[in-house]
Every structure is written in structure tokens, then in C-alpha cells.
Amino acid sequence: MNNEFSPQNVMKFCPRCGRNQFEANGVKSCKCADCGFVFYFNAATAVAVILRDSENRVLLTRRAFDPGKGTFDLPGGFVDPLEKAEDAVDREIQEELHLQIVDKKYLGSFPNTYLYGGIIYYTCDLVYECRVATFDGICATDDVTSYEFLHITDEVIEQVGSTSIKNILREYCL
């Protein structure tokens, strides 16, 4: 992906020496012509969680912030540095919904791009199907404005803001 928001077109200064000789070095990196530093555009890891209620409806959240403010999403978020993805699942569900995960199953990974602050970040979204002991006490907080339990249809998927989440819902919920 090489558009105006791709890292190669946005990053102009070397993070090591600060000079403006930072140039595209193929599609996966930039290299400083002065000090030789190479910065690779690796994917950031994120988790997405499928939670179902007793009627087999999927819990979708509404995003509080851009990108995709107001669109449907699955609960989840970025994995912190040095954090296990499984721990990120527990933390994100606690932060966003005040729920406790009691069982989780890894389903797969989905590539995504995330436009934030005028630059594209590449992500790899890891999807888990989880159970909670109870939905009692559920509360939308953190970067979630609300939540709904829905039967997943093509019409619902069209209201999802992220390409990877759309693909996750198509693969695991239709």
C-alpha cells in the first residue's frame, strides 16, 4: 500500500539521528542515507473478541474514537509491549466492558490497516472466541460508547468500521 498516508510517505526524519535523509527502502522499511539506520514497518498486534449470549447473538461495541468513531466493532484492542495476547484479551474485556473472561479459544489472524494521526499502521488482529461467567455488570467504558447483542447479518457487517473485523464476522459468525 503506497498512498499519501503510508509510512514511507509520512516519515521524513530518521528516528536515530534526526536528519531528513530518511527515504523509502522498499515497501517494508525506510533507511537513513546519513547514518544507515533502517526502520521496518512491522505489524502491531491487536486482539478481537467474539462473545455470544444465550441466544447466540454476538456482542458488538460502538467505537468512541476515530478511526471509525460510532461504527460497530468487536471488543478488543492493541496488545501492550511485552504482553501476551491472551492477557490482552482479559485486560481489554475488563477495561471496555467490565467482564471477566472464563474461557478463550484462539480462532485465527486477520491483517488490517489502521489510519491514525495521518499515518497508516499495519496490524495483525488475533481473534478469540470467549465465554464470560455472566453478563451481569456489563458496562461500556474506556473507548466504547455502547454495546449491543446482535445476530450477525450482512446489513450489520456493513456498519462495522474495520475491514479486518468485517472479515472476522463474515468468517466466524455468518
What is the model's pLDDT at position 3? 85
pLDDT in tens, 85-125: 999 999 999 999 999 999 999 999 999 998 999 999 999 99
* Domain extent for 109: 44-173
Same domain, 80 and 66: yes
Overall pTM > 0.85: yes
Same domain, 76 and 33: no
Residues 128, 116: Cα–Cα separation, whole Å: 24
Given a contact cutoff of 8 angstroms between Cβ atoms, the answer to whether 155 and 166 are in contact is no
Of 70, 51, 63, 65, nearest in space to 149 by CA: 51
Residues 87, 164: Cα–Cα separation, whole Å: 21
Same domain, 24 and 89: no
Location of C-alpha cell 474514537 = 65
| Chain center to CA of 43 | 11
Of the chain, the percentage scoring pLDDT greater than 70 comes to 99
Tell me the CATH number at 53.
3.90.79.10
Number of domains observed in the structure of the chain: 2
Same domain, 36 and 56: no
Same domain, 67 and 142: yes
Phi-psi label, residue 142: left if phi above 0, alpha if psi -120 to 50, beta otherwise: left
